[in-house]
Amino acid sequence: MKNILLTGATGFLGSALAHHWVRAGHKISVLLRPASATVRIEDLMNSIQLYRCDGDDEVLSTIGKVAPDYIVHTACSYGRAGENLIDIFDANVRFGLLLLEGASRLDKQVVFLNTGTILESSVSSYAMTKNSFSTLGALQAGWGGSGVQFINVALQHMYGPGDDKSKFTTYVIGSCFDNVEHLRLTSGVQERDFIYVEDVVSAYDVILSNVSSFACAEEIEVGCGDAVSVKNFVELVHSMTASQTLLEFGAVPYRANEAMLLVADTSRLRSLGWTPKISLRVGVQKIIEKDYVR
């Protein structure tokens, strides 16, 4: 049984990890903000330890009380809800540093599994702050003496049922399913590595089960290892939903510093025995059946 402290458990990935690890029989403690809604984990309330923390001292005290063997950090701010740069920095950098400080105060070895990003820092304030924390975490672990092993997950484009409607995949599927009149898009030449949430969860599982094979500070890429153009993804969804929506490719310009190819090198993950199970077509079908078909 693993003693895991999980952040971001009310989010898409965090809640999926919480459900999986509770079923696996692990001890799961969840660290939440006072106002965080718990809809995604309501059915787990009798199976987890939930801590609502307001302020640094409460966070540090909770880490000391839980004394986790593993901290799995999925909490973040994308900046999509009107947050300013200070808010994004607090969520994506400062909070992570606070977790690292709490872990370093424990008289034991702690594995810190961080959910990073594959985006370049120049793309957005989200990417810049996430990469900043990943660098700082690796530096602290690399200096030695902290008692923390820092493993950064460079996560590709995750998708699945129940994800936020603002995400690209769910937005496209919802728009096509609802037959909106027009769907304005970029040219769609850029390629992305789409990975289903269940495959991400299994990757995290494999990483935690093989921490002894990692250095004190290391990064591992998580994705399917295959690149699909955005246009092909949209056309697949359009076909699978039998949509009448007019796809307007080229109507939206690429954002500044748009990456044209993002794909994971999965060789390390596969060497640990992991392989993705869910194809893009099957994953899209699961979303349609669970989120849209009534």
As to burial, measured by CB atoms within 10 angstroms (0-12 exposed, 13-18 middle, 19+ buried), residue 40 is middle
pLDDT value for 131: 96
Band (pLDDT 50/70/90 cuts) for residue 140 is confident
pLDDT value for 185: 97
pLDDT value for 294: 64
**Complete DSSP assignment for 20-65:** HHHHTT-EEEEEE-TT---GGGGGGTTTSEEEE--SHHHHHHHHHH
Tell me the pLDDT tens digit for each residue of 181-211.
Answer: 999 999 999 999 999 999 999 999 999 999 9
* 3-state secondary structure (DSSP) of residue 114: strand
At position 255, the amino acid (one-letter code) is: R
Residue 103, both tokens: 């872990």
Q: Is the pLDDT of residue 10 over 80?
A: yes
As to burial, measured by CB atoms within 10 angstroms (0-12 exposed, 13-18 middle, 19+ buried), residue 11 is buried
- Please determine, looking at this structure, whether the domain spanning 158-193+224-294 carries the CATH number 3.90.25.10: yes
Q: Is the pLDDT of residue 143 over 90?
A: no
* The residue count for the chain: 294
CATH class of 1-155: alpha beta
Q: Is the pLDDT of residue 219 over 90?
A: yes
pLDDT value for 57: 95
Q: What is the pLDDT of the chain when averaged over all its residues?
A: 95
- C-alpha distance from residue 12 to each of 75, 118, 213, 250, 293 (Å): 10, 18, 28, 30, 20
Segments in the chain forming alpha helices (H):
12-23, 56-66, 85-89, 95-104, 125-143, 168-177, 197-209, 230-240, 267-271, 280-287
For the chain, the domains span 1-155, 158-193+224-294
Mean pLDDT, residues 141-158 taken together: 89
Tell me the pLDDT tens digit for each residue of 37-85.
Answer: 999 999 999 999 999 998 999 999 999 999 999 999 999 998 877 889 9
pLDDT value for 71: 98
Residue 135, both tokens: 């660098």
Tell me the pLDDT tens digit for each residue of 262-288.
Answer: 999 999 999 999 999 999 999 999 999
Band (pLDDT 50/70/90 cuts) for residue 35 is confident
Q: Which helix (H) or strand (E) holds 185?
A: strand 182-185
